[in-house]
Amino acid sequence: MVKKTLLGLAAVMLLTACTKLDLTGLVMPASTEADQRVKQSLGMGLKSSPANIVATTDNYRLYVCSDVHTEEFPRRYNEFLRRQRADSTALFALQLGDLTNRQGALYSAAKTMRYDSIRDRHDTPVYSIVGNHDLFFNQWDDFKQLFGASTYVFTVTTPHYRDLYIMLDSGGGCHGRTQMNWLRGILANRDSYRHCIVGSHVNIFRTDMSQFVSGNLPLEETYELMDLLASHHVDLYLQGHDHHRCETLYGGVHYITLDCLKDGADYASYMVIDAGDGLAWNFHDDI
C-alpha cells in the first residue's frame, strides 16, 4: 500500500509540477558542480553591483532578505525593494538565495530588482547569491547571465573604516573545497576591516534531510566552517533556506537564519542592519 501511494505521488508530481519541481536536482549531489560554479564566479565578477561602496559617514544601513520564490510579480519583494530604496541611510541590500520558484522565473526576479524611477527614490544595489531553487533546471546559466558571480566579496569604505562582506554559494548543499580554500584566503586579511559579515543560503545548523541533498551541509564542512569563522572573528553569518527565523551565538559569531519573503507565506519578514561602532539589527514582519 505504501509503495503504491509513493508511486502515485511521484506520478502526480511529474504531471502537475513539471515547471516547478526538478526531480533530478532534488536528489543528485552537487559537490562537483559547486567547485565548477565557484571557479566560474571567481573569474567573472558581478554584473552591475560595485565591488566597493563609498559611504559618506561611518554609520550606514543595509537590508537583508531571503527565499522570495518569485513566480511572476512578487508583491512582498517589490515592497522590500521600495522600502530599501526609500531609505536614505541604506547603502545596499543582500538577497540570500531562492529568488525563484519555477523554471525561467529568474528573469522576472531580475526585472523586479531593476531600479524603477516610479517605485524607487535611490538607485541602491542588491547583492544576490544562488539558492537551491535557483539551480534547479540548470538555471545557473541564467543566474550568471543576469547577476554574474555567486561567490564574491565587496567592501564598504567609510571616512574612517572599511567593512568586509563575503557572499558564498551553498545552493547545492555544500560550499566545496575550492570555495573553502578561497574563503580561508579572504579571511586571512580580516583584521584590516572593522566588521565582517558573511552571507550564504543553506542553514549550517540543520541536520535533517527534509530538502534532500540541498537540505544541510556535510558535517565535516560545518565543523571546518564554524572554526574558520570563529578564529577570524566574523561578526555575522546570515543564512536562509528554512523559512523560519532563528538566532544563535556560537564561538563569538552571530548566526542568523531569516524568514522567507515569499508571497502567501504565513511567516514572512526581512532584516535591517545598522552598522556603526557595532552592529545592531531588527526584523520587520509588516510586509
Where exactly are the structural domains of the chain? Answer: 28-284
Mean pLDDT, the chain, rounded, equals 87
Do 34 and 132 meet the contact criterion of CB atoms below 8 Å apart? no
Task: Provide the pLDDT for residue 20.
Answer: 54
Per-residue model confidence as pLDDT tens digits over 209-220: 444 445 568 888
User: In 52-69, which positions are buried (b, 16+ CB within 10 angstroms) versus exposed (e)?
Assistant: ebebeeeebbbbbbbbbb
Name the residue type at position 192.
S
Does CATH number 3.40.50.620 belong to domain 28-284? no
How many Å apart are CA 19 and CA 270, to the nearest integer?
27
**Residue 31 pLDDT more than 80?**
no
Task: Provide the pLDDT for residue 219.
Answer: 84
Do 67 and 131 meet the contact criterion of CB atoms below 8 Å apart? yes
How does residue 207 score in pLDDT terms, banded at 50, 70 and 90? Answer: low
SS (H, E, C) 135-192: HHHHCHHHHHHHHECCCEEEEEECCCCEEEEEECCCCCCCCHHHHHHHHHHHHCCHHH
Per-residue model confidence as pLDDT tens digits over 245-265: 999 999 999 999 999 999 999
Over residues 155-175, the mean pLDDT reads 96
DSSP state of 212: G
- Using a pLDDT cut of 70, give the percent of the chain over it: 85
Per-residue model confidence as pLDDT tens digits over 39-75: 999 999 898 899 999 999 999 999 999 999 987 788 9
**Residue 225 pLDDT more than 50?**
yes
How many Å apart are CA 262 and CA 238, to the nearest integer?
18
Per-residue model confidence as pLDDT tens digits over 9-23: 443 333 334 445 444
Instruction: Determine how β-strand 253-257 pairs with β-strand 246-250.
Output: antiparallel
How many Å apart are CA 186 and CA 51, to the nearest integer?
14
Number of H helices, E strands in the chain: 9, 12
Of all helices (H) and strands (E), which one includes residue 33? helix 31-44
206 CB contacts (<8 Å, ≥6 apart)? 215, 216, 241, 242
